[in-house]
Amino acid sequence: MAEDQKVRISGFLVFFLIHAIQVGVGILGFQRLIVKSAGNDAWIAVIFAGITTSVIIWFMYGLLKNEKNKDLNGIHRKLFGKWFGGLLNLIWVLYWLMLGLTIIRSYIEVVSVWMFPHINVIVFSFILLLLVYYGISGGFRVVAGICFLGVVIPFYLALTFLFPIEYTNFRNLLPVWNHSINEMAIATKDMGLSYLGFSTLLMYYPYIKHPEKSQKWAQLGNILTTLVYMFLIIISICYFSEGQLDEHIWATLSMWKIVEMPIVERFEYVGITSWVLVILPNISLAVWAALKVASGTFKIKEKKILIFMMVFLYVGCIFIEGKEKIDQLSNLVTFSGLLLVYLYVPCLLLYSKLMSKIRRN
């Protein structure tokens, strides 16, 4: 299917695919988590996380190029065989599904706390998953289009963060680097969930026209993500004090409360509503990646697997209730993602290089 030029996308769309899945519901409240460890130096941790991600993207391209443009499913089968490779595929399927579940459940929690305390999770999650199902059913080009629109349309929201600048105190950033290496490392790790979705590159790489030339777009997408997070964390540190940031679970939404417009009294309602366009690409791309791995592993029709995945996500949304359980799910996904993306991928590249050298000899 990926060999057909009709289902392939232009290389520049990788820019939107990378950026779209890295900016999701986590950006609404990531400040509190990293400031807890790195304080006023949290913006440096954001840069470190961006650099680390850039290195992993380079590793991924090295792996995919070395394996002749195969996706993750094909790489596992080639290097580890049908059974063990299938087991590794299953781990990635679960990871991407749990990532999608974390995003959708976290967004529902935000809507519940900030807008509708008595929202019907059963109905709301069903509507969201119906949109996801419709998008994925249309194929990868439709998913890529959703990612493109999910970046372009809500980008106007970036202008709203100019409002808090009037009340910021940039002296809050001083002194620079007054935290230990260990504290900075913890803060960098805590930024992990915000960047993790880019691992879907391992599945849609074969769907790119001239994929070996698309790395510059992937790196630029990651750079834009880093700049967005860095801008937000700097504004947050300068607008709030460290103590205030510790009390604001969703600092980004709190800054929206000061936005005043003649026709909008509570702009955070507009922002949260618009954020559907941001999280839809997150969920769609993660579930699509899980679907492609699962269909390639179990040799079952994609439609049946997709319906099963939708049911799995729907049940998960219903039974995971409360901020505590959502945080536990988020921590599990972050830990799993750090192991798979920042540890397993480099090891897989080294193993692939080693096996190629052995085969040549």
User: What HEC string does the chain produce?
Assistant: CCCCHHHCECCCHHHHHHHHHHCCHHHHCHHHHHHHHHHHHHHHHHHHHHHHHHHHHHHHHHHHHHCCCCCHHHHHHHHHHHHHHHHHHHHHHHHHHHHHHHHHHHHHHHHHHHCCCCCCHHHHHHHHHHHHHHHHHCCHHHHHHHHHHHHHHHHHHHHHHHHHHHHCCHHHHCCCCCCCHHHHHHHHHHCHHHHHHHHHHHHHHHHECCHHHCHHHHHHHHHHHHHHHHHHHHHHHHHCCHHHHHHCCCHHHHHHCCCCECCECCHHHHHHHHCHHHHHHHHHHHHHHHHHHHHHHHCCCHHHHHHHHHHHHHHHHHHCCHHHHHHHHHHHHHHHHHHHHHHHHHHHHHHHHHHHHHHHC
Closest CA to 227 of 49, 37, 21: 49
Look at 158 and 198; give whichever has higher pLDDT: 198
Tokens representing 304 are: 């049946």
Average pLDDT of the segment spanning 110-129: 92
Query: Residue 123: what pLDDT?
Result: 94
**Residue 122 pLDDT exceeds 50:** yes
* Confidence band of 190 (pLDDT split at 50, 70, 90): confident
Question: Does residue 171 register a pLDDT over 70?
Answer: yes
Give yes or no for a contact between 289 and 147, defined as CB atoms under 8 angstroms apart. Answer: no
Is the pLDDT at 35 greater than 80? The verdict is yes
CA–chain centroid gap for 110, Å, is 17
Mean of per-residue pLDDT scores for the chain: 90
The per-residue pLDDT for 179 is 83
Mean pLDDT of 296-321: 92
Average pLDDT over residues 47-62: 94
135 C-beta neighbours (distance < 10 Å), count: 21
Torsional class of 299: left (φ above 0), alpha (ψ -120 to 50), beta (otherwise) = left
Among residues of the chain, what percentage have pLDDT more than 70?
Answer: 98
Output 245 or 147, whichever has higher pLDDT. Answer: 147
Q: With 80 as the cut, is the pLDDT of residue 263 above it? A: no
Is 2's pLDDT higher than 70? no
Determine the average pLDDT of the residues in 244-263: 83
- The whole-number pLDDT of residue 234 equals 92
Q: Is the dihedral of CA 315, 147, 136, 275 positive or negative?
A: positive
Looking at the chain, the whole-number percentage of residues with pLDDT higher than 90 is: 60
Q: Do 229 and 249 contact (CB within 8 A), yes or no?
A: no
- The yes-or-no verdict on residue 260 having pLDDT over 80 is no
Residue 1 pLDDT greater than 50, yes or no = no
- In this structure, of 11-15, 43-47, 240-244, the range with the lowest mean pLDDT score is 240-244
Please give the average per-residue pLDDT across 65-81, as a whole number: 90
Q: Measured over all CA atoms, what is the biggest interatomic distance in the chain, rounded to whole angstroms?
A: 72
Q: What is the pLDDT confidence band of residue 128, given thresholds at 50, 70 and 90?
A: very high
Q: Evaluate if residue 150 carries a pLDDT over 60.
A: yes
How many whole angstroms separate alpha carbon 211 and alpha carbon 57?
13
Q: What is the pLDDT of residue 175?
A: 85
Asked if 63 contacts 75 with a C-beta cutoff of 8 angstroms, the reply is yes
Region of 81 please: left (phi>0), alpha (psi -120 to 50) or beta.
left
| Structural domains of the chain ordered from first start | 5-360 (1.20.1740.10)
pLDDT band at 230 (very low <50, low <70, confident <90, very high): very high
Is the predicted pLDDT of residue 6 greater than 90, yes or no? no
**Residue bearing the bigger pLDDT, 246 or 109:** 109
Q: Which residues pair with 295 in a beta bridge?
A: none
Q: What angle do CA 150, 151, 156 make, to 5 degrees?
A: 105
pLDDT at 3 exceeding the cut of 80: no
Structure tokens at 337: 């993602």
Averaged pLDDT for residues 279-308: 93
Q: What is the pLDDT of residue 5?
A: 58
* pLDDT class of 360 with cuts at 50, 70, 90: confident
